[in-house]
Amino acid sequence: MSGLKEYSLLLGDEQLVVRTGQIATQANASVMVQMGDTVVLSNITVSAKPRQNVDFLPLQVVYQEKYYAGGKIAGSRFRKREGRPSDDFVLLARVIDRGLRPMFPKHIHNDIQVFCTVLSYDFEHEHDVAAANGANIATAISDCPADGPLGTVRVGLIGGELVLNPSREAREKSDLDMFVTASLERIVMIEAGANQVPEDEMLKAIEFGKKWAQKIAKFFADIQKEIGKPKFEVEAPYTHDEGYAFIKAWALPEISKAIKTPMEKLARRKIFTNLMDEAKDKLKEKFPVADSASAEQKEEAEVLYTHGSAFVDKVVKGEMRRLILEEGTRMSGRKVDEIRSLSAIVDILPNRVHGSALFQRGETQGLTTCTLGSPGDKQLVEGMEGEHNLRYMHHYNFPPFSVGETSNRLFVGNREVGHGNLAQRGLEPVLPSEETFPYTIRTVTEILESNGSSSMAATCGSTLALMAAGVPISSPVSGIALGLVSDEEKGKYIILSDLQDEEDFGGDMDFKVTGTAKGVTAIQMDIKIKGLPDSVFAEALERARTGRATILKVMLATISEPRKEMSPFAPRIETIVINPEDIRLVIGKGGEMIQKITGELGVEIDIEDSGLIFVTSVNGEAMEKAKAWIKAIVEKPEVGKVYKGKVIRIIDGTGAIVEFLPGKDAMIHISELAWGRTEKVEDVLKMGQEVEAKVIEYDAQEGKTRMSLKQMSTPPEGWVASPPRTGGFGGPRRGPPRR
C-alpha cells in the first residue's frame, strides 16, 4: 500500500484518475483508472522467456465484465458465475488490441497478456474508455518494450456538435460513436459507427479525437518518465545478409513475374510456396558445411537453412511493396485505385430463406441470407449493464475451405465476431424503425472463398439480401477496404483500393469504410506501423467514397430497391392494441390462454406492456383466427347484443353458465330460459349445447354478465309473469306486469 501513486488529468469537465502501486503488483504493471464512479483495473504480464518457433506477436487482450460492477446478480437460476465474455466485450478487447499491437517490436515473441477488469460501473462514465487508457498506461510503465504511450477517447456528434467521451445516455442521441487512439505523434487506431455522416464531418471528428487522445498520451508520458520501469532487451531478429542476398537474387525474377501476371490466388501462392520449399536446399548448395566442421558451425548452418522460407517471404513482401511504390503496380498488374471484377446475384437460394444474395469481388465471395422473425425472436443480452434486446443481428462465418485450407478451428472466434459486427454496425443506421417494421432481422454471411476484404463482401451481401427479403432499408450500403504501402524514410505512401490478402499481410494498413451515398456508417482501421500522417485520412475517405459508389452501381443493377412483397414463407406480423388492463386476460391464468391460442393455431404472440400485441404467422387463416380470438377475449359484453355460446355448467334450480366469448362466462337464470315457468333447467338446456342468447346485464366492475334466452323473442300473447325468484348477481328478478 505504501507504493501507491495517484495522478489525475482534467478531460473537458471530467477527471481521469490513475492509481498504481496499490494492487496486483506481481504483474509487470497494474493500474486502476477511474472516471466518475467507473473503475477499471488494467494490467500487463509478460512471460519470462520468448515462445519458440513463432513468427508473430503473441499478444492477448482480455476484457472482463463483472456483474457486481453494475450492482447486479445476473446469470441463470443455476449459474451465477460470469462465463465467456459477451460479443460486446470481445469487440472491446479487439479495439484495445488494435491500438497496442503495432507499438510492440515486431520481433518480440514473449507471451503478452493485457487484462482489463471492470470493477465498478456508474452507468454514466463508460468503462471502455477507462479500460483502454488503463491498458495504454500499464504498457507504458511496464518493462515490456513498446512505443508510445497512447491515449484513447470516444467522440460523439450530437446536434451537430462534437462531444468528448459522451455519457451512456448522450450516446443514444449521437450520430457518431468513434474511438480514436493516438500516440504523441500520430493516430494509431480508429473504430466508428455513424448515422450516414459525411466524410468532411468524419475528418473533423478524427482531428478532434486526435487532439484529446494526444493530451492523454502526454499525461501518460509524464507518468512513464517518473515511474516507468526500464524496458528489457529483446533478442534481435535473425539476419544473414549474404544468405538473404543470395535467395533474393535467385527468387526475385520469378516472384516479380508472379506478382505482375494476372492469376488466381492459389496459383500464385503455389509459386511462392514452391520457392520457400526449395530455398533450404538452395542455401545448402551455396553454403555447404564440411563434415569436419564443428558442432557450433553445423548448428549455425542449420539455422541459416531453416530461415530460407522466411527469406523468400521477405523478398515477396519487399517486391510487392517496391512495385507499388515505384511502379504503381499491384498484384495481377492492378492499378492502385482499381477495384477487382464485381458481380452480384439475388435469390440464389429458394425463398424459404426469405432473402438471399451472392456477392463477389475478385476471389472473395460471400453468400448472405436474411431471415425475418417475430418480435419474440430478439436476442436477449444480459450483463452488468442490465438487459437489452438485439433486434438486428449479423453473423459472419469464415470456414477454412474458403481459403483452400483444412483446420480444426471450426467454431466462432474473435475474428468472426469482429467482422460480423462491422457489417452489422454498417447497416444499422438504414434499417426501418420497429414501429414501421416490427420484425426481428438476422443476416448471415457465409464466406465461400476469400482473397481479402471479406467483411466488406459481407456488408454488400447483407444489403442485397435485406432488399431481396423486402426489408424497407432507407438507403443501400456498400463497403470497401483500403490498404497502404509507405516508405517513411522518403515520406511516400500509396493508398490501395480494394485490399487483397497479400497486400494486407505485406502492407501497412487495413482501412475499412461502409456507407451510403449520403455518408459513412462505419469505419475500422488497423495498422502495422506506428501511426499514420493526417493527410492519409482525407485521401482514404475520398477514395473509399468513390470506391463505394462504383460497387453500389453493380449492386443496384442487380436489385434497385427493397421489394414491396416479402417471401410467402416469411412470417406476417399484424398488431392489435388492447387496454393494458386486459393483458392478463389474453395471457390467462399461468399463461393458459396464450398457450392455448399459440398451440392450436401455430402462431406467435408477443405482448408489450403498453397493450400492443404482435401476432406472427406464415398462415393467413391462422392469423385471422388468432386476431379474432384475442379481440373476443378482450371484448366487453354489450347489453342488448346477441352472442353465440356453449353451455359449460348447469346449476340445478338456478340456471346455466354459458361461455359466450373466450374466457368469458355468463349466467342464464332459470327465469330467463323461456316465457313462462321453467321447472328444470335441463328441460331447456343440456351440457355442451350451443345456444344464442342476449346480454341483459353487464357489471364492468365485477366482470359479471347475465344473459337471456327468452328475451330473444317477444312474449306470447296473453303471457303472465311468473312469481318473482331470487338469483343471479342482479338480485330478485321480476317479470313484467300482468296483462
**What CATH number is given to the structural domain containing 582?**
3.30.1370.10
pLDDT tens-digit readout, 701-737: 777 999 999 888 877 776 665 555 544 444 444 444 4
In a domain, 718, yes or no: no
Burial code (b: 16+ CB inside 10 Å, e: under 16) for 694-713 equals: bbbbbeeeeebbbbbbbbee
Residues 349 and 449 in one domain: yes
Closest CA to 493 of 480, 512, 511: 511
Q: What pLDDT digit, counting tens, does each position of 545-573 carry?
A: 999 999 999 999 999 999 999 999 999 99
Q: Are residues 486 and 581 in the same domain?
A: no
Assess if residue 465 is contained within a domain.
yes
Q: How many CB atoms lie within 10 A of CB 437?
A: 16
Judgement on whether residues 577 and 550 belong to the same structural domain of the protein: no
> pLDDT for 597-638, tens place per residue?
999 999 999 999 999 999 999 988 999 999 999 998 888 888
Say if 647 falls within a structural domain. Answer: no
DSSP state of 640: T
Boundary (domain end) residue, out of 558, 585, 603: 558
The closest of 152, 154, 134, 131 to 142, measured between CA atoms, is 134
Local structure of residue 530 (DSSP, 8 states): S
Please determine, for residue 65, whether its predicted confidence score (pLDDT) is greater than 50. Answer: yes
Q: Please check whether residues 358 and 433 belong to one and the same domain.
A: yes
- Domain check: are 522 and 629 in the same one? no
Give me the residue label for grid cell 378482450. Answer: 634
Which is more confidently placed, 724 or 104? Answer: 104
User: What was the pLDDT predicted at 385?
Assistant: 84
For the chain, percent of residues with pLDDT exceeding 70: 97
Q: Are residues 301 and 356 in the same domain?
A: no
Instruction: Return the pLDDT at 718.
Output: 63
In a domain, 731, yes or no: no
Cβ-Cβ contacts under 8 Å for 299 (sequence gap 6 or more): none
Q: Which of 227, 251, 282 is the last residue of a domain?
A: 227
CA atoms within 13 A on the CB side of 241: 0
Tell me the three cell numbers of residue 295. 558442432
The pLDDT value recorded for residue 521 is 98
Give the model's pLDDT for residue 719. 62
Position 76 confidence tier, pLDDT thresholds 50, 70, 90: confident
Nearest one of 183, 173, 177, 166 to 202, comparing CA atoms: 177
Residue 209: helix, strand or coil by DSSP? helix
Q: 332, 353, 368: which is the final residue of a domain?
A: 332
* Grid coordinates of 469: 427479403
Specify the range with the lowest mean pLDDT, choosing from 218-227, 407-416, 591-600, 608-617: 407-416
Residues 351 and 320 in one domain: no
Whether the Cβ atoms of residue 464 and residue 359 lie closer than 8 Å to each other: yes
Q: What is the mean pLDDT of residues 251-279?
A: 96
pLDDT score of 161 more than 70: yes
Identify the domain containing residue 377 by its residue range: 342-558
Is residue 247 one of the residues assigned to a domain?
yes
Q: Is residue 235 part of a domain?
A: no
pLDDT in tens, 78-103: 888 888 888 999 999 999 999 999 99
Backbone angles phi, psi at 670, to 5 degrees: -55, -30
Strand 664-669 and strand 655-661: pairing?
antiparallel
Q: Tell me if 154 is assigned to some domain.
A: yes
Measured in degrees and rounded to the nearest 5, phi and psi for residue 250 equal -75, -45
What is the structure's pLDDT at 171? 93
Place of cell 516479380: 256
What is the full DSSP assignment across 676-711?
A: S--S-GGGT--TT-EEEEEEEEEETTTTEEEEESGG
Residue 305 lies in a domain: yes
Whether the CB-CB separation of 709 and 668 falls below 8 Å is answered with yes
Q: Are residues 535 and 603 in the same domain?
A: no
How do beta strands 612-617 and 386-390 pair?
unpaired
CATH code (residue 46): 3.30.230.70
Structural domain total, the chain: 4
Percent of residues in the chain assigned helix, strand, coil, to nearest 5? 35, 30, 35
pTM of the model: 0.87
The mean pLDDT value for 313-335 works out to 94
Cell of residue 355, nine digits: 432473402
Based on the fold, state whether residues 122 and 83 are members of the same structural domain.
yes
Q: Are strands 664-669 and 704-708 parallel, antiparallel or unpaired?
A: parallel
Residues 682-691 as b or e (16 or more Cβ within 10 Å = b): eebbeeeeeb
Quick one: average pLDDT of 32-45? 97
* Domain shared by 349 and 392, yes or no: yes
Q: Which residue's C-alpha cell is 463483472?
A: 66
Pair 404, 552 in one domain: yes
**Cβ(215)–Cβ(9) under 8 Å?**
yes
With a pLDDT cut of 90, the percent of the chain lying above it is 76
Q: What does residue 169 show for φ and ψ, rounded to 5 degrees?
A: -70, -40
Give me the phi and psi of 254, to 5 degrees please.
-70, -35
What SS3 state is found at 125? coil
Q: Sheet of 5-11: strands edge to edge?
A: 5-11, 14-20, 29-35, 38-50, 110-120, 59-64
Examine the pLDDT at 1 and tell me if it is beyond 50: no
Confidence grade of residue 383 (pLDDT, cut at 50, 70, 90): confident
Could you tell me if residue 727 is left (phi over 0), alpha (psi between -120 and 50 degrees) or otherwise beta? left
- Whether the pLDDT of residue 739 is over 50: the answer is no
- 17 and 161 co-located in one domain: yes
